[in-house]
Amino acid sequence: MADNGKKIYVLHIVGARPNFMKAAPVMRALARYPELSQKLVHTGQHYDANMSEIFFRQLGLPAPDFNLEVGSGSHAWQTAQIMMRFEEIVLQKRPNLVLVYGDVNSTVAAALVCAKLGIPVGHVEAGLRSFDRTMPEEINRLITDQIADLLFTPSQDGNDNLIGEGVAPEKIHLVGNVMIDTLVHLLPSVNGRCRQELHLEPKKFALVTLHRPSNVDDRERFAAILKTLDTISRNLTCVFPVHPRTRARLQEWDLAIPDESRLRLLEPLGYLDFLGLMQEAALVITDSGGIQEETTFLGIPCLTLRKNTERPITVEVGTNILVGEDLEHLENETQAILNGTGKTGGVPPLWDGKTGERITKVILEFHYMANI
Ligand code: UD1
């Protein structure tokens, strides 16, 4: 309890697909402590049912207490809308702590609002750096970490980056990877149903996801990637659940897929179906952040179509390989995996399903220390 006998009020902010699997285990852990009360704000950055609603259901997230319904727009517009609408809620509710997740526009917008109102902010998944400031997420990470009061890092490199940027060590807490909590929690519910419905044999297909502006917002680059995927699919069927932004580019540029029976485009999948496919894939080709971590945990080879990663531990310890911009490299690494000479890997420390619990303990300590 707080000094005045009231519960400690924590507000969680989520907005985009990768936030949902990070907030769920923290909410579950907080719910075990009667001295804590919590509410959930959805900014509405992602709004399609298959980008949002299905995740709430499968992850066991409660319906949001507040929905800001901001939708899509330019970065400035989206960030500003979230700030204006979220500020009203913070002023009304005066939470003791606001928890923000990951690196999306909703994360930085909510952190900025709180910093200006003097409300403590905790950042879950702090300290990750790609050192590439052309990525919108890198800007979001840098700013959020400078203004947050509690920084929850998934791995030691996160601590090192924050210390290097002058963040006070007492704010930094190495708690492990919260996304792995969700994976561990839901793995028993995952099955081969989706794979069977798609008539795929285990380990006889590649799972593909792409949505980064650097890959899909440049016509030539995107067309070249599709051509390489087509080549790969001659030996290995490729299954590609298509993100809305990627779908929009495909349509805008009228990019043709030579043979959709080999390179199969799907609508975005729910968490359980996606995980089911990942677990049984021969390999994963992606530009996502979270998928680099999930494949490392599952020991599935991952080829990342990026020049850099904010998750270097997945390369150092795990199964991830950065193939950069070189599409020939992608083809060669795919072949190596198919030949049985691909990279293997281990699981980083504290990626054990207990990160939500560790975060909760830090929150309680922080509150008591602040009120002594
Ligand atoms: C956002 C995050 C990115 C994260 C990704 C996961 C930022 C800066 N980026 O990128 O870090 O990896 O989510 O999905 O916050 N759209 C829909 N329906 C939706 C959501 C989006 O059609 O439910 C379309 C809209 O046309 C929109 C575009 O997708 O303009 C991009 O959405 P947005 O949330 O701005 O960024 P993402 O590319 O999804």
pLDDT in tens, 273-330: 999 999 999 999 999 999 999 999 999 999 999 999 999 999 999 999 999 999 999 9
Of 45, 54, 251, the residue with max ligand 1 atoms within 8 A of its CB, to mutate for a pocket test, comes to 45
- Assign residue 340 a region: left if phi > 0, alpha if psi is -120 to 50, beta otherwise? left
Contact 43, 14 (CB under 8 A): yes
Contact 168, 344 (CB under 8 A): no
Atom of ligand 1 nearest to the CA of 106: 15
Contact 127, 158 (CB under 8 A): yes
- Average pLDDT over all residues of the chain: 97
Of 245, 274, 291, the residue with max ligand 1 atoms within 8 A of its CB, to mutate for a pocket test, comes to 245
Per residue in 251-288, pLDDT (tens digit) is 999 999 999 999 999 999 999 999 999 999 999 999 99
**Residue 344 exposed, middle or buried by CB count within 10 Å (0-12, 13-18, 19+):** exposed
Q: What is the dihedral of CA 239, 212, 325, 273, to 10 degrees?
A: -20
Query: Could you tell me the distance, in angstroms and rounded to a whole number, from the CA of residue 218 to the centre of ligand 1?
Result: 16
pLDDT at site 3: 57
Question: CA 57, CA 59: separation in Å to the nearest integer?
Answer: 6
Of 72, 247, 252, the residue with max ligand 1 atoms within 8 A of its CB, to mutate for a pocket test, comes to 72
Per residue in 118-168, pLDDT (tens digit) is 999 999 999 999 999 999 999 999 999 999 999 999 999 999 999 999 999
For range 185-203, the mean pLDDT: 97
pLDDT at site 79: 98
Query: Could you tell me the distance, in angstroms and rounded to a whole number, from the CA of residue 244 to the centre of ligand 1?
Result: 7
Query: Could you tell me the distance, in angstroms and rounded to a whole number, from the CA of residue 360 to the centre of ligand 1?
Result: 29
Query: Could you tell me the distance, in angstroms and rounded to a whole number, from the CA of residue 16 to the centre of ligand 1?
Result: 7
Question: CA 130, CA 138: separation in Å to the nearest integer?
Answer: 7
- Has this prediction a pTM greater than 0.95? yes
pLDDT at site 371: 75
Query: Could you tell me the distance, in angstroms and rounded to a whole number, from the CA of residue 135 to the centre of ligand 1?
Result: 13
Question: CA 318, CA 320: separation in Å to the nearest integer?
Answer: 6
Atom of ligand 1 nearest to the CA of 212: 38
**Residues annotated catalytic, as ranges:** 211
Residue type, 86: F
Encoding tokens for residue 54?
Answer: 């299905």
Statement: residue 346 has pLDDT above 80: yes
Per residue in 78-110, pLDDT (tens digit) is 999 999 999 999 999 999 999 999 999 999 999
Statement: residue 244 has pLDDT above 70: yes
pLDDT at site 4: 63
Q: Name the residue at shortest CA distance from atom 29 of ligand 1.
A: 245
Question: CA 121, CA 98: separation in Å to the nearest integer?
Answer: 5
Ligand 1 binding pocket, CB closer than 6 Å: 16-18, 45-48, 51, 72, 103-105, 136-137, 211, 243-245, 248
Atom of ligand 1 nearest to the CA of 103: 11
